[in-house]
Chains A and B, each alone.
Chain A
Amino acid sequence: MSRHEPFAFEIPAAASVDSQVAYRRSSLWRDAFDRLVANRLAVVGMIIILLLFFTAIVGPYITPYDFLSQDLTARNQPPSAAHWLGTDDLGRDVLSRVIYGARTATIVAFSVTGVSLIIGIALGSVAGYVGGKVDSLIIWLTDFVMSIPSLLLAVVINLSLKTPLTYWMDDMYLATHNPLFRQTIWVDFALVFGALALVQWPSYARLIRGQILTIRNRNYVLAARALGLPRRRILVRYVIPNALGPIVVAVSAGLGQAMVLESAFSFLGVGVRPPIPSWGNMISDGLRVWRHYSHLLAAPAAVLGIVTVAFSFLGDGLNDALNPRQWKE
């Protein structure tokens, strides 16, 4: 049994003096939160990400222009009071499109991470609990899936499934005029990012399996069993809370990664297709004309960069805050 218990550290003198002066209910989660807040970069990252989520939810209702409305008399305009980030080659407001892009990125990030987390939790905990042959099988499966390059998978799905399906939907719409077949954007989301989720889950599955394997051999779980507590109580009170830290960190990193992948896919034309704005396809469009209208490239690229860095700051901060073993004074 390892003696390097994650939480077996000394409280620093300053903290214990504090708790004597003003008795405050301290908990490990609160301590972790305190350490997170004490980390300036993490706070900056957190604020940017909260802003991003806020924008994703309410953004499209507060944009100055509709993200689709074209104004052919005002094409490729540089930033001005009327268009803070200028307009693109069809006279669409870039700010409105960047804001809508936040929604696209957030939807993709949450759905990809959510789906892969659900698959990961299910398979990972089965592997960890059942063990034996089932465990070997699931581990083999994760190895297999991890060896698939996600970009290649997206291209293949794009060609083999998405394009025919989109044509079929167009035909169906022309034939039936059923509004169900009108919007093909959901095909983009479901297929491409479904595929993304299918290749992202193995890392979660392995993480959760590892957590369960270590925690169920911990002495405190044995002690809880010796107290006669039922299995469900042990799971809820002992296993899950102790497993949560690394999973929170992984999810935060996974959200950022999914956003970047969405942009990369859209940039290459296999993700979200125009006219629905995505930072990726905006960068792709802007890249063609960047010598003349550099704001068309700069705006979405800067936003993507800032968000990526913010996720990385928050992930690092969470990792330090929830993992006191690495906690240095």
Chain B
Amino acid sequence: MTVLLDVRNLETRFKVRKGYVYAVNGVSFQLQAGETLGVVGESGCGKTVTMLSLLRLLPPAARIENGRALFEGQDLLQINRRQLRKVRGAQIGMIFQDPMTSLNPVVNIGLQMSEPLVYHRGMNMPQALQRSAELLEMAGIPDGQARLRDYPYQLSGGMRQRVMIAMALACQPKILIADEPTTALDVTIQAQIVELVKELRDELGAAIVWITHDLGVIAGLAERVMVMYAGFVVEEAAVDDLYDDPRHPYTVALLNSLPSVSETKGHRLASIGGSPPDLSARPHFCPFLPRCRYAIDKCQTENPPLRPAPGVDAPRHRIACWVDVQERGQT
């Protein structure tokens, strides 16, 4: 397996009225070709900002302070705008959370889908429209040719997300970054979209980064999962290892708060007390400390680095925690 994307020590912060908000604090990860990586964590823990940083799509207040993102031998954080535009859309596609607002309301689907094909692939308009129709059908929208003339407001949320996916995959990118693509959709449509992405992944062989706060969604989709908290990666493991043997207290808590079909009725759904920390300063202690059941003294003075989980066979299971949860959990 070849490493497609190698992110090292990425740091992004936002300038606000009083100082800074440290949104991403030294995130490192690797993405193999054709692999599906799930990124989980609650709102505001830096999942989206990490991915936007890679394509430098951040709002003006944000700045990338440090890090490298090697993609095919070039550092995405250093290349010039022209080179970057050749990567965006063509090499790395991205789909967003809210399909209702992610399509240009005054341009029809056909013209909108043709833009990247014309720009990146140098197709002429008839070719691009032809290809767009095929892509729509590939994305599960019947009669693509007729839909080209539709405007976004004529499509439902699920249909729009299918259009977004077709558009992001139009130039056959090597990586597809999906930023909570199912959050705004209802459950049945969610399942359809996940199925669609799976099918397209197998067909096109693209690597996928799937951002979500729903551990249930990525269980059947991802091969590897990265758990983020307060701008840090706190646990990273193969999907089965993570579900069977979670090692970070945050991951444990997230898994505990999943509703289960087998659970008896009348049982109150578990939740994690408190809320993510204020990120106006880089924490010098474990950011999860205030909410952690397992905290020890060391957690208050030193922020644990990401390192191989102690006492685990899986080679790529890494956690950022001083405590061995399994051991402490039994005592």
Contacts and interface: CB of A to CB of B under 8 A. Distances in A.
Interface string B36-67: 00000000000000000001010110000000
Interface string B103-141: 111111001000110011000000000000000000000
Contact of A220 (B60, B103, B119, B151): B103
B101 A219 contact: yes
B90 A241 contact: no
Nearest to A23: B146
Contact of B86 (A5, A27, A228): A228
B167 interface: yes
Contact of A28 (B55, B93, B102, B105): B105
A167 B103 CA distance: 61
A234 to B, nearest CB: 10
A8 B85 contact: no
Nearest to A6: B105
Interface residues of A, number: 33
A224 interface: yes
A29 B108 CA distance: 11
A28 B87 CA distance: 32
Nearest to A324: B153
A226 B89 contact: yes
A217 B22 CA distance: 21
Contacts of A29: 106
Contacts of A233: 115, 119
A82 interface: no
Interface in A13-51: 25-29
A230 B106 contact: no
Nearest to A31: B151
Nearest to B92: A226
B89 A11 contact: no
Given A5-B101, A11-B154, A237-B115, A228 B89 contact: yes
A1 B120 CA distance: 29
Given A225-B57, A229-B116, A27 B151 contact: yes
A230 B85 CA distance: 7
Contacts of A148: none
B246 interface: no
Interface residues of B, number: 37
A1 B154 CA distance: 21
A216 to B, nearest CB: 10
B119 A229 contact: yes
Given A227-B88, A228-B85, A1 B101 contact: yes
B98 interface: yes
A237 to B, nearest CB: 6
B119 A7 contact: no
A192 to B, nearest CB: 38
B102 A219 contact: yes
B269 to A, nearest CB: 26
Contacts of B293: none
A186 interface: no
B206 interface: no
A154 B150 CA distance: 51
| Most chain A C-beta atoms within 10 Å of own C-beta, residue among B87, B111, B167 | B167
Interface in B247-274: none
B85 A7 contact: no
B94 A226 contact: yes
A222 B57 contact: yes
B33 interface: no
Given A219-B96, A228-B120, 6 more contacts: A2-B101, A5-B101, A7-B153, A222-B102, A228-B86, A229-B116
5 closest cross-chain pairs (CB), A and B: A228-B88, A228-B89, A7-B105, A227-B89, A226-B94
